[in-house]
Amino acid sequence: MGETRATDQSLAPSRDRPPARGAATTFVLGTFNVHAGVDGWGRPFDVVGACRTIGADVLVLEECWSPDDGPGTAARVAEAMGYTVLEHALAGGRLAGPDPGADDRWMRSMDWRGASHAIFLDSERPFGDRVRTSPRYRDAQRGRWGVAVLSRLPVTGSRVVELGRLARDRARRAAVVATLRVGTVPVTVVGTHMSHITYGAPRQYLRLGRHLRATVDDGPAVLAGDMNLWGPPVAVLLPGWRRAIRAKTWPAWRPHSHVDHVLVRGPIDVVGAEVLPAAGSDHLPVRVRLAVAPTERASSSGASGAGASGAEQRGSDRHAG
């Protein structure tokens, strides 16, 4: 059914839709939660080098960091590697520098929201006095945290789908939808970073699924990102999408959960897929090779999913080369 497990490079075409016609064009898509380019102590890693290793034509990055006073993660990767970048902020906050008490672990145990962690998201839910009065918070760099789709393929359209904020979440959630040209075929690529299941994320999944069914035609489409959820419930919440890879991606030092997903829909085949080695984040990068071929409809159609209105257009895309 067009699915693969990690490192499987020889896949049969999907059998749940008519075969594409003509010579297929392949492209590589990657997804990587970069954790703002730092570990849990605030020690930076070579995020540009990590993205070079992925070597993707299209790259979805989650937890991008854009400081108020300089270029951000996605912009630096785009400049170094020749991407167009479509970025959307999900929260504002602060990014702390390296913790002088850091040890050889990726972060202090059980400190995802503590005063010693590196990322403080407080634009939607302020922290308490213990965090706000800590030196790490006070001295941290101000900026924005978000999601981005980077492409070396021609971008013919883009928009942002706002998914709202759940009460326990420290960020709004959204999806960046890009229409790309792969050979002569328009392909829709959707990049997102979903809320945690314990916050009530199914509501946002259903909202995203309804929007994509209503606005994206039956041409080839890819949905990628950190879903904060395992594969089987993702498949249930997003009917019609096929899992392109099944592999453990989190945490990077001892992965036990598949939360970083690539899903496909329509006339698109998965040629191969793999999870790459740890690159500095707490998530492992994922890379898939996909194939599309021109069909009679594709040869005469324009960009798919080229319209949205109202709340789904709120927010801004930032383009850089």
pLDDT tens digit string along 153-196? 999 999 999 999 999 999 999 999 999 999 999 999 999 999 99
Rounded to an integer, the average pLDDT of 38-56 is 97
* 25-39, 124-138, 291-305, range with greatest mean pLDDT: 25-39
16 vs 168 pLDDT, higher one = 168
Whole-model pTM: value is 0.87
Q: Burial-class residue 310 by CB neighbours within 10 Å (0-12, 13-18, 19+).
A: exposed
* Model pLDDT, residue 109: 74
| E strands in the chain | 25-33, 58-67, 84-95, 119-121, 141-151, 155-164, 173-182, 185-193, 221-226, 242-243, 260-265, 269-275, 286-292, 318-320
Model pLDDT, residue 167: 95
Say if residue 251's pLDDT is above 50. yes
Picking from 149-153, 275-279, 312-316, which range would have the lowest pLDDT averaged per residue?
A: 312-316
Label residue 3 by pLDDT band (50, 70, 90). very low
As a whole number of angstroms, the distance between CA 13 and CA 215 comes to 26
Phi, psi torsion values for 69, nearest 5 degrees = -120, 25
Name, in order, each residue with C-beta under 8 angstroms of 135's C-beta and a sequence gap of 6 or more.
none
pLDDT (mean) for 73-89: 98
pLDDT tens-digit readout, 51-70:
999 999 999 999 999 999 99
CA angle centred on 313, ends 307 and 314, rounded to 5°? 175
Cβ contacts of 81 within 8 Å, gap of 6 or more: 48, 51, 52, 150, 152
- Is the distance from CB of 56 to CB of 189 less than 8 angstroms? no
**How would residue 32 be classed by pLDDT, with cut points 50, 70 and 90?**
very high
The structure tokens listed for 68 are 């108020």
Indicate the pLDDT class of residue 303, thresholds 50, 70 and 90.
very low
Higher pLDDT, 318 or 144: 144
Q: What is the C-alpha to C-alpha distance for residues 146 and 153, in angstroms, rounded to an integer?
A: 22
Decide if 65 contacts 58 (C-beta within 8 A). Answer: no
Taken in order of first residue, the domains within the chain and their CATH numbers are: 25-303 (3.60.10.10)
Measuring CA to CA, how many Å separate 117 from each of 67, 74, 101, 113, 123?
Answer: 17, 22, 11, 6, 17
Residue 319 has pLDDT above 80, yes or no: no
**Which residues are registered as beta bridge partners of 94?**
120, 142
Q: What are phi and psi of 276, to 5 degrees?
A: -90, 165
Q: Which of 33, 76, 67, 29 is nearest to 321 (CA)?
A: 76
The type of residue at 32 is: F
pLDDT class of 299 with cuts at 50, 70, 90: very low
Question: Are 261 and 4 spatial neighbours (Cβ–Cβ below 8 Å)?
Answer: no
Does the structure show a pLDDT above 90 at 133? yes
Mean pLDDT of 272-289: 98
Percent of the chain with pLDDT over 70: 83
Considering the chain, what is the average pLDDT of its residues? 87
